Structure 1
Amino acid sequence: MAVVTAVAAGVMTAGALAPTAAFAGGKPQPDSVQSSLNALVKDDGLPAALASVQGRDGRTRTYTAGVGDVATGAKVPVDGQVRIGSNTKPFTAVVVLQLVAEGKVGLDSPVDTYLPGLLRGDGIDGRNITVRQLLQHTSGLPDYVDKGAILADPTRYYEPRELLDAALTQKARFAPGTRWSYSNTNYLMAGLIIQKVTGRPLGEEVNRRIVDRIGLRHTYFPTPGDTSIREAHPKGYNRDADGSLRDYTELDPSWGWAAGAAVSTTSDINRFYAALLGGRLIPAAQLAEMRTTVPADEVTPGFRYGLGLASRPLSCGGVYWGHGGTIPGYYTAGGATDDGRATSIAVTAIPGDAAEKHVAAAVDSALCR
Structure 2
Amino acid sequence: MPTRARGRRLRSVLSATVLTAAALGGLLQPAQAAGDPGPSGGHPHQDRKLQQQLDRLVAQEDGPPGVIALLTRGDRTQVYTAGVGDIETGRPPHPDDHMRIASIAKAFSGAVALRLVDQGRLSLDDTIGERLPAQPEAWHAVTLRQLLQHTSGLPDYSAAPDFLEILTADPRHLFDPRRLLGFVADKPLLFTPGSLYEYSNSDNIAVALMAEAVTGARYEDLLRDLVYRPLGLRRTSLPLGYRLPRPYLHGYNVTPPAAPEDVSEAVGASGVWASGGIVSTPRELGAFIRAYGGPELLSEETREQQLTFRPGDSSEPAGPGTNAAGLAIFQYTTRCGVLYGHTGNFPGYTQLAATTPDGTRSLTFSINTQTNKANKPALLARLRTVQENFACALLKEK
Shorter-chain TM-score tier: 0.7 to 0.9
Structure 2 unaligned segments of length 5 or more: list them. 1-28, 36-42, 394-398
CA contact (8 A) 2:354 2:364 kept: yes
Matched, 1:236 2:260: no
Matched, 1:164 2:181: yes
Give, in whole Å, the separation in 2 of the partners of 1:114 and 1:289: 20
Match of 1:288 in 2: 304
1:241 Cα shift? 8.4
Q: In the alignment, which of 213, 219, 222 is matched to residue 236 of structure 2?
A: 219
Counterpart AA for 2:343: G
1:32 Cα shift? 3.1
Equivalent residue runs for 1:57-206 within 5 Å: 57-70=74-87, 72-79=88-95, 80-120=97-137, 124-126=138-140, 128-146=141-159, 149-150=166-167, 152-206=169-223
1:152 Cα shift? 4.6
Equivalent residue runs for 1:327-346 within 5 Å: 327-339=346-358, 340-346=360-366
Q: In the alignment, which of 280, 289, 295 is matched to residue 273 of structure 1?
A: 289
Give, in whole Å, the separation in 2 of the partners of 1:334 and 1:358: 17
Q: In the alignment, which of 30, 37, 50 is matched to residue 33 of structure 1?
A: 50
Give, in whole Å, the separation in 2 of the partners of 1:112 and 1:309: 25
Match of 1:363 in 2: 387
1:74 Cα shift? 2.4
Counterpart AA for 1:219: T
Give, in whole Å, the separation in 2 of the partners of 1:108 and 1:180: 18
Query: Quick one: structure 1 residues 149 and 65, their matched pair in 2 at CA, closer, same or farther if it must change by over 3 Å?
Result: farther
Between 233-242 and 159-168, the greater mean CA deviation after superposition: 233-242
Give, in whole Å, the separation in 2 of the partners of 1:277 and 1:239: 32
The secondary structure found in structure 2 opposite 1:63 is strand
Counterpart AA for 2:338: V
Q: In the alignment, which of 56, 71, 86 is matched to residue 53 of structure 1?
A: 71
CA contact (8 A) 1:319 1:337 kept: yes
CA contact (8 A) 1:110 1:131 kept: yes
Q: C-alpha deviations, 1:289-309, integer Å up to 9, x for none?
A: 111111344665731111101
Give, in whole Å, the separation in 1 of the partners of 2:113 and 2:33: 43
Query: Quick one: structure 1 residues 166 and 241, their matched pair in 2 at CA, closer, same or farther if it must change by over 3 Å?
Result: farther
1:15 Cα shift? 4.3
CA contact (8 A) 2:344 2:350 kept: yes
Matched, 1:247 2:247: no
Give, in whole Å, the separation in 1 of the partners of 2:311 and 2:32: 39
1:239 Cα shift? 3.6
Counterpart AA for 1:95: V
The secondary structure found in structure 2 opposite 1:87 is helix
Counterpart AA for 1:51: A
Give, in whole Å, the separation in 2 of the partners of 1:50 and 1:162: 35
CA contact (8 A) 2:124 2:144 kept: yes
Query: Quick one: structure 1 residues 148 and 51, their matched pair in 2 at CA, closer, same or farther if it must change by over 3 Å?
Result: farther
1:240 Cα shift? 5.2
Counterpart AA for 1:230: P
Give, in whole Å, the separation in 1 of the partners of 2:303 and 2:33: 40
The secondary structure found in structure 1 opposite 2:322 is coil
Query: Quick one: structure 1 residues 14 and 298, their matched pair in 2 at CA, closer, same or farther if it must change by over 3 Å?
Result: same
1:199 Cα shift? 1.1
Q: C-alpha deviations, 1:204-240, integer Å up to 9, x for none?
A: 1112211111112321222x4x321113112112245
Query: Quick one: structure 1 residues 263 and 32, their matched pair in 2 at CA, closer, same or farther if it must change by over 3 Å?
Result: farther
Counterpart AA for 1:41: V
TM-score by length of 1: 0.85
Counterpart AA for 1:248: V
- May I ask how many residue pairs the two structures share in their alignment? 342
Give, in whole Å, the separation in 2 of the partners of 1:118 and 1:338: 36
Percent identity (aligned): 31
TM-score by length of 2: 0.80
Matched, 1:309 2:329: yes
Structure 1 unaligned segments of length 5 or more: list them. 1-11, 23-29
Give, in whole Å, the separation in 2 of the partners of 1:216 and 1:107: 26
